Amino acid sequence: MSRVYNFSAGPAALPLEVLENIRNDIPDWQGTGMSVMEVSHRSAEFVELAARSEANLRELLNIPEDYSVLFPQGGATLQMAMIPMNLAQAGETADYVVTGSWGKKAASEATKFCNATVVADASDKNFTYIPDESSWQRNDNAAYLHYVPNETIAGVEFHFVPGGDTPLVADMSSTILSRPVDVTKFGVIYAGAQKNIGPAGITLVIVRNDLLDRAPKNLPHLMTWRSYAESDSMTNTPPTFAWYVADQVFQWLKRQGGLEAMAVINKRKADKLYSAIDASSFYSNPVAKDFRSWMNVPFILADASLDKKFLEQANAAGLTNLKGHRSVGGMRASIYNAVPEQAVDALIEFMSEFEKNV
């Protein structure tokens, strides 16, 4: 078997230990004589899995009792519509802070349902910073404030939580579970799974229970958070295999020592990669230092004509998926939980050798 170091932005690397458990489990899951894909979501075994995964997630993130944990389908993108559908009716105002492509997409989707207003916008500097909170043009009557704590494409991250009494709605797709977070500061946290949770196909929504009552009665069942909350996310058949893998990932995180332990490793991984980039005159990262992402590290080569050669040689060295997003160019190393520190060390070593030899 030969595994590469996978720096994909998403779907992203999964822990090898989890993959090996899955392989073992597939033919005969928990003595059922079936794979987890073949059992009923109403079976005792699956209902137990669902309950355990939620309990473990609650423990990992320290989620209070007055929040519901939902596992819908549709990814983070469907939530960009479900948020206004559940929280703000036509004519109501919702505030959006746009510090990258995902925040922009969320704001644009919300305009279909409510008066979504962009209250801060970092596109003037190509999403390389976060506008000072005091400059945000917030509306007093906003139903919620939406922001993206980690913008996956430009690699820009909030290292603070915005203030105020308006319920905060956060797209944590690419930062969830990378470190502890104070859930009580948020109204809604949502995330697609395929970065730090598991395979694509399942979505996580953590919502404060009082916000479940805002949805209009005529919303379709599957668009209504309350339906998921009242049915333990079994409103219809859930994505059972993806949920099973997420459950494995939550157990793996607990074995690593939880999110405090992950935070230490993740910070160290990011620090050493940024240090290597900053110490070189050949590589650069365009993001203001205070707002650099722990999870997604874009970097540009001084000579873009070498990009192709860099990627070819990196691939040959077992370092894959380093091509940057087309809107930023250059490279991007996504170093989520499942990307081991050795992968970052190997990348730094490779970058240094490449620089020497060009």
Residues designated catalytic: 102, 171, 195
Nearer to ligand PLP, 115 or 152 (CB): 152
Site for ligand PLP (CB under 6 A): which residue of 14, 87, 98, 148?
148
- C-alpha neighbours within 13 Å on the C-beta side of residue 54: 17
- C-alpha neighbours within 13 Å on the C-beta side of residue 29: 21
Cα radius of gyration rounded to whole Å, the chain: 21
**At closest approach, how far in Å is the CB of 268 from ligand PLP?**
22
Nearer to ligand PLP, 166 or 203 (CB): 203
Residue 76 in the binding site for ligand PLP (CB under 6 A): yes
Instruction: Residue 357: count other Cβ atoms within 10 Å of its Cβ.
Output: 8
Handedness of CA 24, 29, 34, 40 (dihedral sign): negative
**At closest approach, how far in Å is the CB of 295 from ligand PLP?**
9
Nearer to ligand PLP, 167 or 199 (CB): 199
* CA nearest to 212, candidates 335, 83, 47, 310: 83
The stretch among 41-49, 74-82, 314-322, 349-357 that binds ligand PLP (CB under 6 A) is 74-82
Site for ligand PLP (CB under 6 A): which residue of 192, 199, 238, 324?
192
Alpha-carbon distance of 73 to 202, in angstroms, equals: 5
**At closest approach, how far in Å is the CB of 42 from ligand PLP?**
26
The answer to whether the beta carbons of residues 184 and 63 sit under 8 Å apart is no
Strand order of the β-sheet with 331-334 is 283-284, 296-301, 331-334
Residue 73 in the binding site for ligand PLP (CB under 6 A): no
Site for ligand PLP (CB under 6 A): which residue of 174, 178, 227, 321?
174
Residue 171 in the binding site for ligand PLP (CB under 6 A): yes
DSSP H stretches of helix in the chain: 16-25, 44-61, 75-87, 101-110, 225-230, 240-255, 258-279, 307-316, 341-357
**At closest approach, how far in Å is the CB of 193 from ligand PLP?**
7
Positions touching ligand PLP (CB under 6 A) are: 10, 75-77, 102, 148, 152, 171, 173-174, 192, 195
